[in-house]
Amino acid sequence: MIPPVPSLTQYLELLSQFDGTLQAAALVGLLIAGVFTLINFRHLQSLDTAFPPVNQIRQLVPTMFLALFLRLIRFPESLWYDETFTAAMAATDISKFPTALLGDVHPPLAYLIMRFSALLFGMNEFGLRLPSLVASLLVVWLVWLIANEVFNSRAAYIAALLTAVLPGIAYYGAEARYPMLLAAVVLAALLMILKNKPRWFAVAIALAPWLHSTGWLYVAVLLTVAIVWHGFRWRWFRSGVLVVILTAPVAALAYIQTEHVISGFWLQARAPFVHMLTTSLSASLPSGWLQVGGMALVVFLSAVALVSALATGKPLKRAYIYSIAILVPFLAWFVGIVFRPVYLPRTMLAATLILVIFWSGWIATLSRRWRSSVLALLIGYSGAAHGYNLYNQLTDNFVRTDMDNKFFAHCADADVIHTVQLNLAIPAEFYAPDGVDVVSWYSGQNNHQRLTQNAIRALNIDQVASWTQLTGDVCIVAQYSYYTEENEIEYLTAVADTAELVYSENNQLYAYQVYWLYDR
């Protein structure tokens, strides 16, 4: 029996309602920030930013260990689909890697970094996620350095602490994908602007498009800010020329991918400003009032922090930096309207971290009582998210959007795992028990990621025209979602009429089934 799942239209309506709720919460947070600012504007104008220095080295070390712990506890989680695709790209024969890359929408650098890590530490969760973990710890340090330049030592410590504990940021520090690497190079480039080092700025920001295509947005915004900030000096124009030279090869690749590949992917146009805000705190909270309250809180902090930064010393310098957090999501929104849809909230991580720096600058100005209260609220919210995640991890209570190792464990005694969609073939290759072959259905794409046939061959994905061609004990795994197409429903209906259903799971948005066809 085919389980009921929502259509794509119904799913997009759910997303729209959810985004609408978050936007309403953001408006509430903005209104509260406005009232707070009006009441306290005199206080903001009279703030003295010269605080006694705190012993940051002594305090940063335990902060780093806290960041390490909150990321390592996520390492035992199964890889989700995007991470298994990273594994597939990392494991691809180097001679076939360019062909596989041309079937994807991402540039090569993150894959190559994780390939190197996997060669050293194994093709497993640890080996693949280690680069993001290292980048995440580097980001804590970079946030500390930037906040110290823009504000003061107290704000720097608070910024490092929040970067360590905020759940959305911690999540990407334990994911075998590009977001934390992208955030690290963007923050490094921002630090070089502050230090007036145009050559190192060019090297850092030029890495962004090599990590993800949205890196071009950061290149455009940071290069503009750098040139204007430093008075249109020729040495910063030269750094722009160096950026063009360093990114020219990946620009050609990006053109090919956006013209011929991206239309086969699942992107939807949504709200990058919402993503930037939810990435920090509320995205990792369970749905409901906690998530809505988290959105209101981050908007309040962002608005008050902006007013505080502009009302105190170095307002122009701070305005330039804050503009990065505004302009990057704006460009993402604009590109999504006029060119291609932009969905990915994780690409807004660097902009989120800039907001966190400004939150910290404002929090540092508060009295000890108020400062402790605001930090307790933020850390309390973060603790709720980390506890929620850990509880789900211990009780196997995840709302899955992709199959993981627990599903494929049902196929341990099979001769063949047969996947109906390509987005299942990739994790099946990673989690298939030893000695079990993986064969995908030739016509199944699931509209999730439409790989070209050349890319499929480069990734060593075997395919057949029908499950009837397979022999031995066959374990068939299927995912049903808003992207499941009619031909896949027909194919799975035929499977359900013949095979034995051994496992089923349905979380309203996604359904999963595992069938057995015994040796015939």
Query: How confident is residue 344, by pLDDT bands cut at 50, 70 and 90?
Result: low
Of 76 and 115, which is predicted with more confidence?
Answer: 115
Please, what sign has the CA dihedral across residues 253, 258, 264, 266? Answer: positive
189 is a domain residue: yes
- Judge if 219 and 274 occupy the same domain: yes
1 is a domain residue: no
- Judge if 422 and 481 occupy the same domain: yes
- Judge if 354 and 426 occupy the same domain: no
Dist CA 301 CA 182 (whole Å): 24
Q: In whole numbers, what is the pLDDT of the chain averaged over residues?
A: 83
Q: What is the pLDDT of residue 447?
A: 53
Structural tokens at position 501:
């259903």
- Judge if 181 and 279 occupy the same domain: yes
- Whether 395 shows a pLDDT value over 80: the answer reads no
At which residue do the structure tokens 């990621």 appear? 449
Dist CA 336 CA 70 (whole Å): 34
Of 426 and 483, which is predicted with more confidence?
Answer: 426
Distances (CA, A) of 22 to 290, 298, 356: 11, 11, 19
Q: What is the pLDDT of residue 40?
A: 61
- Judge if 281 and 327 occupy the same domain: yes
Q: What average pLDDT does the segment 431-446 reach?
A: 83
85 is a domain residue: no
User: What would the pLDDT profile of 371-390 be if each residue is shown by its tens digit?
Assistant: 888 899 888 888 888 887 78
Return the exposure string of 183-222: e unless at least 16 CB atoms fall within 10 Å of the residue's CB, then b: bbbbbbbbbbbbeebbeebbbbbbbbbbbbbbbbbbbebb
- Judge if 304 and 370 occupy the same domain: yes
- Judge if 390 and 443 occupy the same domain: no
User: What would the pLDDT profile of 278-320 be if each residue is shown by its tens digit?
Assistant: 666 655 555 566 677 777 888 888 888 888 888 776 788 889 9
- Judge if 138 and 31 occupy the same domain: yes
Q: What is the pLDDT of residue 48?
A: 43
- Judge if 294 and 417 occupy the same domain: no
Of 12 and 391, which is predicted with more confidence?
Answer: 391
Q: Which ranges of 315-348 would DSSP assign to H, the alpha helix?
A: 315-338
Pairing state of beta strands 511-517 and 416-419?
A: unpaired
Q: Which amino acid is at 237?
A: F
User: What would the pLDDT profile of 126-185 be if each residue is shown by its tens digit?
Assistant: 999 999 999 999 999 999 999 999 998 889 999 999 999 998 899 899 999 999 999 999
Query: How confident is residue 37, by pLDDT bands cut at 50, 70 and 90?
Result: low
Q: What is the pLDDT of residue 19?
A: 65
Number of domains in the chain: 2
Structural tokens at position 419:
């996947």
Of 288 and 469, which is predicted with more confidence?
Answer: 469
Determine the structural domain holding residue 297 and report its residue range.
8-76+107-395
Q: What is the pLDDT of residue 454?
A: 85
Among the three residues 341, 366, 395, which one is the final residue of a domain in this structure?
395
Contacts of 484 (CB under 8 A, 6+ apart): 5, 421, 446, 447
- Judge if 378 and 415 occupy the same domain: no
Among the three residues 350, 375, 395, which one is the final residue of a domain in this structure?
395
Q: What average pLDDT does the segment 483-500 reach?
A: 84
- Judge if 173 and 53 occupy the same domain: yes
Q: What is the pLDDT of residue 71?
A: 94
86 is a domain residue: no
99 is a domain residue: no
Torsion, Cα 191 197 202 208, to 10 degrees, reads -10
Strand order in the sheet with 500-506: 462-464, 437-441, 416-419, 474-480, 511-517, 500-506
90 is a domain residue: no
Of 52 and 436, which is predicted with more confidence?
Answer: 436
Q: Taking a C-beta distance cutoff of 8 angstroms, is the pair 71, 133 a contact?
A: yes
Q: What average pLDDT does the segment 11-23 reach?
A: 65
User: What would the pLDDT profile of 229-273 be if each residue is shown by its tens digit?
Assistant: 998 999 999 999 999 999 999 988 887 776 655 555 545 555 666
Q: Taking a C-beta distance cutoff of 8 angstroms, is the pair 239, 198 a contact?
A: yes
93 is a domain residue: no
Among the three residues 367, 395, 423, which one is the final residue of a domain in this structure?
395
Tell me what percent of the residues of the chain surpass a pLDDT of 70.
80
Q: What average pLDDT does the segment 345-359 reach?
A: 89
101 is a domain residue: no
User: What would the pLDDT profile of 49-95 be if each residue is shown by its tens digit?
Assistant: 444 455 566 778 899 999 999 999 988 888 888 899 999 999 999 99
- Judge if 337 and 357 occupy the same domain: yes
Dist CA 135 CA 153 (whole Å): 22
Pairing state of beta strands 462-464 and 437-441?
A: parallel
